């Protein structure tokens, strides 16, 4: 694969979704810095992923140090930790792309759509950070379990929303590096659809007794 | 096809989405009453659909008369007309299933998700009508053009949301009669996902220059 290797921080990278994303990006040749509140935990997780992949450039740091050293920052923390984690890293985000994978799941009814006032948890972050950070919404609908099996195809599109068209394209490129199809899904406000779908897919998983439903956009030219 | 024929009103049945749904349900053997503010227009539309299908039980009436005569009422009007149309027919809805296909598109930016306060235009109708009417959300993501070509397969799932599980199942059955796959997508609150997806699919149509993108749920056992 011929890609332009980037330095990418995965904040919350010791969790299931984050480590799935980190693995696939590392496998594609990107330099990955896992971020965690606990730097030692991030370092251990990076070593473990490197071992699992049999290589790859993966290191671990504290959240802020990880974000500071990266060109692109991917946020994969639970909804309850989203705001606090952003506060932790916001001082080092200026000029960067922040990919936010947050879905506003509200326990205990995580299979019920409960969008925040204003409609989107990720659009709220863009509003909070202002124009100096290009916030991109992605990965809300992709099963962590499927991402982690890094050799397997994932039958789920990644809806990519951002107000900045170039940032959308950059993230669609990263998604392709991971072996998935990214779809240009419009402005950050449209993240509401992807965020709402997360709860709906959890409902479907339980209702149909399947481990990992997903979504695919139909009617597109094959790419 | 062996189905239990039902009497179904399609309010807004002279529009593109409504007439597509009406055609396919009539073809499956259901008795269809198109509803319009103008009864003569509904009658003409019914005759035209009957002619196009080469048969089928289709009649046309005013909105209220159509809803009154039906067991199941399907609402397919623009968002701007949703509330007023419900007011027109609410007195005759008690005990019935109301299938609401409304997506809260707000011109001019119909390709931008703009969910109403509270999150869902269809959940708002359930709240308005109370428990005597079982409101079911469906059809927000299916292209009218594809529905109208009643012999063609439609590569788009229908997300079906309702608080009443039996009502969800009834509508999933109607969707199957139409030759599409209905997905049990949970409570009426989850309609927010389907409603938001409508704007997102309009964005995708324009961005990728395709006439009718849709969505498919992946990871389910084939049915």
Could you report the predicted ipTM of this complex, rounded to two decimals? 0.95
CA distance B219 to B190: 19
Across chain B, what does the average pLDDT equal?
Answer: 96
CB contact under 8 A, B113 and A192: yes
Burial B2-28 (b: 16+ CB within 10 A, else e): eeeebebbbbbbbbebbbbbbbbbbbb
The structure's pTM equals 0.96
pLDDT (0 to 100) of residue A3: 75
How is B27-95 classified by DSSP, letter by letter? HTT-EEEEEESSHHHHHHHHHHHHHHHT--EEEEEEHHHHHHH-SEEEE---HHHHHHHHHHHGGG-TT
Q: Which residues pair with B98 in a beta bridge?
A: B73, B135
A114·B156 Cβ contact <8 A: no
Whether the predicted pLDDT of A170 surpasses 90: yes
Distance from the A201 Cα atom to the nearest Cα atom in chain B, whole angstroms = 8
Q: For the segment A87-109, what is each residue's pLDDT rounded down to a tens digit?
A: 999 999 999 999 999 999 999 99
Does residue B133 sit in helix, strand or coil? coil
pLDDT in tens, B171-192: 999 999 999 999 999 999 999 9
- Smallest CA–CA distance, residue B154 to chain A, in Å, is 10
Per-residue pLDDT reduced to its tens digit, A42-72:
999 999 999 999 999 999 999 999 999 999 9
Q: Which helix (H) or strand (E) holds B217?
A: strand B214-218
Taking contacts as CB-CB distances below 8 angstroms, the residues of chain A near B210 are 219-221
Distance CA A107, CA B127 (A): 23
Minimal CA–CA distance to B102: which of B62, B126, B137? B137
For B215, the closest chain A residue by CA position comes to A217
pLDDT surpasses 60 at A207 = yes
Q: How confident is the model at residue B223 (pLDDT cuts 50, 70, 90)?
A: low
Q: Return the closest-CA partner of residue A211 out of A221, A219, A201, A220.
A: A201
Q: What is the pLDDT of residue B49?
A: 96
Q: What is the pairing mode between strands B7-11 and B31-36?
A: parallel
- In this predicted structure, what is the pLDDT of residue A222? 75
Q: Alpha-carbon Rg of chain B, whole angstroms?
A: 16
A69 interfacial to chain B (CB closer than 8 Å): no
What is the SS3 assignment for B22?
helix
Regarding beta strands B158-162 and B134-137, do their DSSP bridges make them parallel or antiparallel, or are they unpaired? Answer: antiparallel
pLDDT in tens, B26-66: 999 999 999 999 999 999 999 999 999 999 999 999 999 99
* Residue B197 to residue A192, Cβ atoms within 8 A: no
Mean local confidence (pLDDT), B140-159: 92
- Spatial CB neighbours of A140, under 8 Å, sequence gap ≥ 6: A101, A102, A103, A159, A191, A194, A195, A197, A198
Instruction: For residue range B99-128, list pLDDT tens digits in order.
Output: 999 999 999 999 999 999 999 999 999 999
Please give the distance of CA A79 from its chain centroid, rounded to a whole number.
13
Nearest chain A alpha carbon to B210: A220
Q: Which residue of B has its CA nearest to A112?
A: B190
Tell me what pLDDT residue B2 has.
52
CB pairs under 8 A between A and B: 141
Please report the residues numbered 105 through 144 in chain A whose beta carbons come closer than 8 angstroms to any beta carbon of chain B: 111-115, 117, 119-120, 143
Q: Residue A193 and residue B196: Cβ atoms within 8 Å?
A: yes
Q: Distance (Å, rounded) from C-alpha B145 to C-alpha A11?
A: 44
A199: left (phi over 0), alpha (psi -120 to 50) or beta: alpha
Q: Residue A155 pLDDT more than 80?
A: yes
Closest CA to B203 of A161, A182, A185, A189: A185
Provide, as residue numbers in chain B, all residues whose Cβ is less than 8 Å from the Cβ of A212: 219
C-alpha angle A129/A130/A135, rounded to 5°?
65
Residues A31 and A55: their CA atoms lie apart, in Å, by: 11
Q: Which residue among A112, A189, A217 sits closest to B190, beta carbon to beta carbon?
A: A112
Nearest CA in chain B to A209: B220
Do B4 and B29 contact (CB within 8 A), yes or no? no
What would you report as the CA-atom Rg of chain A, rounded to the nearest whole angstrom?
Answer: 16
B71 backbone φψ class: left, alpha, beta (φ>0; ψ -120 to 50): alpha
Interatomic CA distance for residues A197 and B117, integer angstroms:
18
- My answer on whether omega of the bond before A58 falls inside 30° of 0, hence cis, is no
Q: Where are the alpha helices (DSSP H) in chain A?
A: 16-27, 39-53, 63-69, 79-89, 121-129, 144-148, 165-177, 191-207
Q: A139, A162 in Cβ contact below 8 A?
A: no
The reported pLDDT for the residue numbered A223 is: 54
Token readout for A147 is 């991402």
Across all residues in chain A, what is the average pLDDT? 96
**How many angstroms separate the CA of residue B213 from the nearest CA in chain A?**
4
Tell if the CB–CB gap between B204 and A213 is shorter than 8 Å: no
pLDDT for the residue numbered A164: 98
The pLDDT assigned to A87 comes to 97
pLDDT at A150: 84
The string of pLDDT tens digits covering residues A5-53 is 999 999 999 999 999 999 999 999 999 999 999 999 999 999 999 999 9
B interface mutation test: which of A124, A137, A219, A220 has the most B CBs within 10 A?
A219
pLDDT for the residue B151: 85
């Amino acid at each position: 694969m011929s890609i332009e290797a980037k330095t990418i921080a995965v904040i919350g990278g010791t969790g299931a979704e984050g480590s799935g994303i980190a693995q696939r990006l590392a496998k594609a040749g990107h330099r990955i810095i896992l971020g965690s509140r606990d730097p030692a935990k991030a370092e251990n997780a990076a070593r473990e992923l490197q071992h699992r992949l049999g290589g790859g450039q993966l290191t671990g740091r504290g959240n802020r140090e990880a974000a500071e050293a990266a060109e692109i920052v991917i946020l994969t923390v639970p909804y309850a930790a989203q705001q606090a984690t952003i506060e932790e890293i916001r001082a080092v985000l200026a000029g960067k792309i922040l990919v936010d994978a947050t879905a506003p799941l509200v326990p205990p009814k995580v299979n019920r759509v409960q969008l925040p006032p204003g409609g989107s948890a990720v659009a709220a972050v863009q509003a909070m950070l202002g124009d100096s950070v290009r916030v991109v919404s992605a990965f809300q609908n992709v099963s962590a379990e499927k991402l982690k099996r890094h050799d397997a195809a994932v039958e789920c599109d990644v809806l990519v929303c951002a107000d900045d068209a170039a940032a959308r394209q950059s993230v669609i490129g990263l998604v392709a590096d991971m072996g998935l199809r990214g779809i240009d899904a419009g402005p950050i406000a449209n993240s509401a659809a992807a965020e709402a779908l997360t709860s709906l897919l959890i409902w479907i998983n339980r209702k149909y007794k399947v481990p990992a439903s997903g979504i695919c956009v139909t009617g597109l030219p094959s790419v």
